[in-house]
Structure 1
């Protein structure tokens, strides 16, 4: 499988390939200083925009990274998700330049997905009872004050804050269908934001707060598999009809984590070539 790290420009409507890799790389983040972060082979890599190449990021004693990672609002810290000795996902924080990660979540499994705009809380999903659903949580940066915002879905994934901090978007499965939802950080005001035929995952509000990027799977898709014909869609941040901006071969790994450029005019994503 060949991976293509791509950038889509909303102004021109054009998609360019920044980097091609023989193998699987996934889940790009965009740092304001002009580089992307991606996951591959259970490791984290930096990709400079001006000289694209995979530069390993040192993660100390923590290995086995999955593709749920992201950058703090001040650009100085990374959140990563990796498996513990029991093969359950934990969340860690570490310096941007690399170093020894610090464990955040004592409760496992937990998968990171979002950072509050003030830098004070993390949004993530996790399982807290045997056989229970994957539910939506937030906590402080030291792992304290874990709050469950929603646990009445069959499955939740992809929580991401709006830039004003007023909402957390997520995808939630109810009655066998996955749609996008948003909820206040205190757990109030929950709203369903999509209700079409597509199976909608991984919503990412743009940095200017105007729109939300998400991944649309074909009707009837179960979970968030790789290797399908999927679409990237945009919808207004206050709700409304989504529009397709990119069609591609991908799915899992395409936009699992926040991927917008700071200017809100571009976003990064992964597509794959068998």
Structure 2
């Protein structure tokens, strides 16, 4: 299928300058050396951005708690929370997890807010998946095989969607009961699938994949793509490389991160865009893509769902270099 560009610029195609958004075009990125992180909140009602926390450390992948009171982030192989209420200045609070280190940026709260699922290599040869009480404590290992990376809970909290490499060099989508148990492989294509996130009604899993040649957003039924991934549907098809789709809780929006054309993967940092389309219904229609913001980001910007519970805002991280 021909890859075409179809975009509508929103009011704030912009770049962070001194903590605020000003219209600009970013120069070509410098070498991937991060000197600071900015955790920000985009308000859809006002098309404005508020930088809520700055740090010279690498902060990654905010996930909003179901009660709206905090963000879950990671830095230095540990998990932290960041208050979203009146606390100023905001301070990171560690989530104390017994005998655990080397947490990566793939983590999130369960829908009822009682659990945190997270990925960590700890003493293993690669990333495994664990759960722990939201306030911390002794973790429970859910997926021991490596590498495995958590990405999302199902809306009813019964399943966790994750990506894993089991045979060959490609990552596929899987799910596993939140309480632990048998893993179910959901995609089988000889491609690289990543970033699974459930639709609010639990019917679909959205993800990014290079199965069409470039990186695009796709979806499959939550129970799996079927034989030869016949039930997989392409959702975006344009000139940029699209990663990490996240459905708003009200079912209206699909947010994702876009890298420049030809970017091979998501591991680095460059000029990126946060873009959005209406969440597809029963049929995919390829609507115009709205550009919300342009800035220096990439790995760690929105690896996991970062929508506020009321769907009016989302959190993301940009980087200084």
Deviation at 1:175, TM superposition (A): 5.2
Q: TM-score normalised to the size of structure 2?
A: 0.83
1:125 aligns with 163
Q: Distance in 1 between matches of 2:153 and 2:166?
A: 21
Q: Deviations over 1:93-148 (max 9, x none)?
A: 0000011110001322110001001110000000112x331100001123323111
Partner of 1:156: 193
Which residue pairs with 1:46 in the alignment?
A: 81
Q: Which position in structure 1 is the counterpart of 2:69?
A: 34
1:215 corresponds in structure 2 to 257
Cα distance in 1 for partners of 2:234, 2:171 equals 18
Match of 1:88 in 2: 126
Task: Identify which of 241, 250, 260 aligns with 2:307.
Answer: 260
Please identify, of 25-34 and 137-146, the stretch whose mean Cα deviation from structure 2 is larger.
137-146
Task: Measure, in 2, the Cα distance between the counterparts of 1:244 and 1:232.
Answer: 6
1:111 to 141, 149, 167: 149
**Equivalent position of 1:5 in the other structure:** 39
Post-superposition, which runs of at least 4 consecutive aligned residues in structure 1 deviate over 4 A? none
CA distance in structure 2 between the aligned counterparts of 1:184 and 1:175, rounded to whole angstroms: 18
Paired with 1:16 and 1:241, the residues of 2 have a C-alpha distance of 26
TM-score (norm 1): 0.97
Quote the residue 2:267 is aligned against: 225
- Listed as ranges, the gaps of 5+ residues in structure 1 are none
Q: Quick one: which of 11, 18, 23 aligns to 2:57?
A: 23
Greater relative contact order (CA < 8 Å, ≥ 6 in sequence): 2
CA distance in 2, matches of 1:262, 1:160: 15
Question: Is 194-203 or 134-143 further displaced after alignment?
Answer: 134-143
Task: Provide structure 2 residue ranges, at least 5 long, that are not aligned to the other structure.
Answer: 1-34, 226-230
